[in-house]
Structure 1
Amino acid sequence: MSLTAAVWTVIFCALVMANLPFLMERRLAPWPWSWGGNLPGLVRWSLGLAFLAGLALWSWGTLKLLGGTYVGGGAELGLFLLKLLASLLLAGLLLALPGRSGNPQPAAGGSKSFFDRLLEVLVGYVLVGTLGFALELNLGNAFPQRWEFYAVTLALFLVLGYPGFVWRYMLRRRSR
């Protein structure tokens, strides 16, 4: 994969992941407080920790799967794109599980809190950052990053999420 293709892949994934929490009412992460009184506290916290462990496992697997392969062209490129697609599908499955596992949707007329959406944006930042780091490893040596890099990339990620924020909170809805 060329550098240009890797950069555009990361930018597209960042644009989607930064706006997804604002465009969907469905929960993307099983936060312990989002279950209400449906489950005991220990079970809710266990599910939240299991989600974070799944996120860490996905990150580790993506780094191992995509980061260590050299892509020259031809069949190698096809195999790499297949691995990339598999990694993105697993990330989508990880984000789809909370809505399918009985995690309650917001009440009729209600919506997810801003805090829930912000945490989901941070989960998206971790997913896209892991993908970007894996692609950087694939292209060559990864450069060591300090806190300034993460501060700037988080700010850029939040800027990419601004259209979804505007659509959710700033546009007036027409009454029908």
Structure 2
Amino acid sequence: MLLANNGLTTVLLEAAVRAPLHVRITHTARLSSHALDDSGSGSGSGSGSRSALGLEAGRPCLLRRTRLVTPGGVPVSANVVVAAAGLDADVDAAMTAPQPLGYALAGRGCRLERRLLHVGHAAWPEAPDRTCASKTYVMYHAGGPLIFVRETFNPAYFPAGTDGAATAHEACPANDPARPGP
């Protein structure tokens, strides 16, 4: 459910850990789209974001790296978010807000459609030798992409299914070509 969800992930995470989560912003930057790693490797700044957002060469972008943490400071998820700067004032403000992105957008009355691009495995940023579940999606408004999000989930809370159990990729309807799309 966490990986296939197309709503506020923070709400599901809070329900799963039975605690309110707080955002820890680890990095923000304004940069050119040239600086984004679009290799698809998952390791760089906004990997895949340039093509997913349809960013033209040299377009100014906003990059935000965060952790959603428990009241005790334990990371539950790690996120990389990229948005084209200057397209939407609410998005620009939410990118620097000291709260989870979805809550910041909702607080500004900004309702965006989410389109799931990929679910699978990645290295957990807090312990790169550990595999975690991840999902990538784009947030749209009026048909145009505004925000690219890559979320990874702490394997201590959400096992990645690498022990032979169904993997996140296999369990997500978005990855089953036999199932109709949403």
Same fold (TM over 0.5): no
Please identify which structure carries the higher helix content. Answer: 1
Higher-Rg member (1/2): 1
Please identify which structure carries the higher strand content. Answer: 2
| TM-score between both structures, scaled by the size of structure 2 | 0.29
Higher relative contact order (CA 8 A, sep 6+): 1
